[in-house]
Amino acid sequence: MGPSVVVKNLSAKYIGSDTWTVRAVDLQVNKGEMVVIMGPSGCGKTTLFRILAGLVPSLIPGTVEGEVTVEGVDVVRAGYKQLVGVVGLVYQNPEMQVITRSVLEELAMGPENLGLSREEIQKRIDWVTHVLNLYDLLDKDPQSLSGGEKQLIAIASVLTIKPKVLLLDEPTSMLDHRGTRLVLEAINQLKKEGLTILVAEHRVEWAVEAADRVAVMGRGTILLEGKPEEIFSRVEDIQRYGVRPPGIAEVAYELRKKGIDVPIPVKLEDSWKLGVGSK
Amino acid sequence: MIVFDKVSFNYGDKGFEIKDLSVEIGRGEFIGVIGHSGAGKTTFAKLAVGLLKPISGRVLVDGMDTKTTPVSDLARKVGFVHQNPELMIFSSTILDEVGFALRNLGYPEIRIKDAVGRVLESVDLIKPLNFPPHALSFGEKHRLAIASVLVMEPDVLILDEPTTGLDYGRCLQLFRVLENLHRNGKSVVVITHDLDLLGMFAKRIIVFEKGKIIRDGSTEEVLTDISFLEEKGFIPTQLQRLANMLGVKKLTPQEIAEQIIKKKRI
Amino acid sequence: MLSGLYIERRSFFHSLDPRAKLVWALLVLAASIVTQFNGFKSFPIFVSTIVALILSGIGAGLAAILIFNSLIFLLITTLVWAGMYSNQGNMVLDLWIIKVTDVGLLVASGKFFLIMSPVFAFITFFVTTKPYHVSWTLEKFRVPPKLSTAFVIAVSLLPTMVKATRDVIDVQRLRGLALDKGSIPERLRKYIPIIVPVISRLLSDVWDLSMVLASRYVGYSKKRTYLLEPKWVKRDTLFLLFSIIFYGVILLWGLL
């Protein structure tokens, strides 16, 4: 499986600003991989996503330097209008992404605007309904749905444009636990469908289970990058970078501070390494 | 301090209803209120500050009945910080913004400047008084909103989902500010989904479901009850699960590590 | 967010084809313009729009609120227009400086209905037609798609603004803002703490909305597909015919 997203030495700043929001970022995501990006606000992850989605500089003016290729397309030169079927971006706030009075309209909106045939539109709606299990929601008014359900519909509406790469910018930060579960399960399901996924998320304890790789960003650049086990066990480093380590790693770290030699697990199933629970 | 006495309330449309709710918020408490959206947490907060009036029953704030006391009088006892700080901000300087409430109450300018300075310090917002609020970062705007409410010197501060849009570092900073206020005698009530932070800072947890309080107990007792949390659709944290596995009611990494050593697991 | 004025109900007007409804509203407008100088002739138009509101299933309650609020407007209109025509026709009411003649009354009520009938008609249209179908209808009437989208969005942002305003008022009340005290200039200044946050909210909503519309490729293709097109049925033809006859007669009567 070759590379899907290739970012080389990317730097970007918005118009009228002297600060570089993104600085010298190198990142590669392979097809079918899920990469979770973590970092405090202002670390540049939203800007990175906007560039990957072709919104900067074509819709939001700014300076972009470096190379960004998504599925072979130079996104900076192409602009978001050429990225139909390449990239989709889901935002944080479910309230602002649901704009019609019927779920069916919501799902059909993208393909309708693209001028696709009615048969093709129906086919895509059927596919997304099946993948995300939206059968019970189809005939409802989106305004009456819960936050999590709205976010699910938002994801589905982006999927009907059939992107190969899905970007989700903090999709659960405005949701309650029920909604979070719904959305995270949907993301897990989409991974199984073979989509390449980049998620900006702060829920470390989910990322350790779901992510293939994790990148920690800070002040516009990538500070750490690698597999969850490698990254999240570096308790002091990630704390310094504004990321909360998984609870189990914090406990292991405390044990080590008391002189007890234990490894630093990141998943709960490895709690036996600390003498808690069984293998 | 705040007493709900058999309060009933509904919005008129079918579905949501609060019926015969009785609960007390005392002085000097740090309470976390959790529940899914639509469970009634914000309605509860609005009833507590008098923005909504009970249909039957009473809400007493330091003895005053919310039905008969003006909202601005109640605001000097209970402060309410809305989820979105940008809904409050309209002034061109921090002084004007934070001092707005005191100006409305008729305080003299010298007192206002003094009070604003003190309250900004207590929320860790170190900026000149003539700084424009719209130039603040989102986290700073949050602290500004809290300052604008604190300046009326309420005894209880209710915050509705203050962690929305804040990263972990800023959330910690915010909660440390709240802890400080708590240590100085104020009651803090935080409506949030973040069980981690509540585990670290809150002393009491109230759980709402469909307009009812289904659990009200100490943080350690409620947050280590994994089966209860999972049954009600919450996502327990790793620390909570570990505590549960060890059979202890402790929620910080240090305490759990100590328990592991104590139980000779290692 | 874009919840619009649309209210989900089953009603006579909800079941009509949006094209028929738009033609009806335009007929109301035309007839009201022609009869604006004679309230006696434009009264049946007004009654028809009240009937329409009731047949929209929004409840007599909401209709009553709308009518009640418009009565104040009626009073002002009457005084203004009656004053302008106070030297024509026979005196009906002579109270201090208020001189109302029968001609004055007719003109006043005509002007009142000129505003209220089309307003009620278009409220009926938007309450019973989904924004999706509104933009579809506008496109069928050859309104350029970008314009019709912009229009639908503008109308849809209204309820969001209403809710935001209510939230802002609540929050500022807690800070001691008393809107019902003070002289007129003082009271106007007191609206600043409400207007500023609401406008900044409007701006950020518009920004958010434009991002979402961009990601849904609005305006991408000149030929947009509509998956769910309304079907024109016999009931729509009957309604249209009836409307043309009813308002047509009134129009002619008004021209006489």
Cα radius of gyration (chain A): 20
Low-confidence ranges of chain B (pLDDT < 50): none
Question: Could you tell me which residues of chain B have a Cβ less than 8 Å from any Cβ in chain A?
Answer: 35-38, 137-139, 164-170, 193, 196, 233-235, 237-242, 245-246, 253-254, 256-257, 260-261, 265-266
Helix, strand, or coil (residue A202):
coil
Q: What is the rounded CA–CA span in Å between residue C218 and residue A112? A: 9
Q: Are C225 and A111 a contacting pair at CB < 8 A?
A: yes
Angle in degrees, 0-180, between the axes of helices C102-128 and C59-84, rounded to the nearest 10? 150
Pairing state between β B64-65 and B78-81: unpaired
| pLDDT tens-digit series, residues B34-89 | 999 889 999 999 999 999 999 999 999 999 999 999 888 899 999 999 888 888 88
**Cβ neighbours of A197 (radius 10 Å):** 24
CB A87 within 8 A of CB A70: yes
**Cβ neighbours of A16 (radius 10 Å):** 7
- The DSSP letter of residue A274 is G
| pLDDT tens-digit series, residues A38-95 | 998 888 999 999 999 999 888 889 999 999 999 999 999 888 888 899 999 999 989 8
Q: Are A101 and C223 a contacting pair at CB < 8 A?
A: no
Task: Say whether pLDDT at C107 is over 90.
Answer: no
Pairing state between β A34-38 and B2-9: unpaired
Question: What count of CB pairs under 8 Å joins A to B?
Answer: 99
Task: Say whether pLDDT at C11 is over 90.
Answer: no
- Find the angle CA(A225)-CA(A227)-CA(A232) to the nearest 5 degrees: 80
- Mean pLDDT for all residues in chain A: 92
Average pLDDT (A185-197) is: 94
> How close C164 gets to chain B, by Cα (Å)?
8
Q: Are B261 and A255 a contacting pair at CB < 8 A?
A: yes
Going from the C-alpha of B149 to that of each of B77, B101, B158, C38, the distances in angstroms are: 10, 8, 10, 56
Nearest alpha carbon to residue B154 among B63, B225, B76: B76
Q: What is the rounded CA–CA span in Å between residue C89 and residue B165? A: 68
Closest to C170 (Cβ–Cβ): which among B51, B134, B152? B51
Task: Say whether pLDDT at C206 is over 90.
Answer: no
- The DSSP letter of residue A59 is T
> Which tokens go with B197?
């932070």
* Interface predicted TM-score (ipTM) of this complex, two decimals: 0.88
E strands present in A54-162: 62-70, 73-74, 87-90
Going from the C-alpha of B23 to that of each of B4, B59, B203, B219, the distances in angstroms are: 5, 10, 16, 17
CB A112 within 8 A of CB C226: yes
Q: Does C196 touch chain B (CB under 8 A)?
A: yes
Helix, strand, or coil (residue B11):
coil
Nearest alpha carbon to residue B197 among B230, B170, B217: B170
Q: What is the DSSP string of C156-218?
A: HHHHHHHHHHHHHHHHHHHTT--TTSS-HHHHHHTTHHHHHHHHHHHHHHHHHHHHHHHHTTT
CB B193 within 8 A of CB B236: no
Task: Say whether pLDDT at C240 is over 90.
Answer: yes
> Which tokens go with C84?
């302008």
Cis peptide before A57 (omega within 30 of 0): yes
Return the percentage of chain A with pLDDT > 70, whole number.
100
> How close A40 gets to chain C, by Cα (Å)?
22
> Which tokens go with C132?
């999706």
pLDDT at site B60 = 95
Global pTM value: 0.86
- Mean pLDDT for all residues in chain C: 83
Place A247 in a pLDDT band, splitting at 50, 70 and 90: very high
Task: Say whether pLDDT at C1 is over 60.
Answer: no
Closest to C175 (Cβ–Cβ): which among B51, B104, B134? B104
Q: What is the rounded CA–CA span in Å between residue A145 and residue A183? A: 14
Q: For residue A242, give the chain B residue with the closest CA.
A: B169
Average pLDDT (C73-95) is: 74
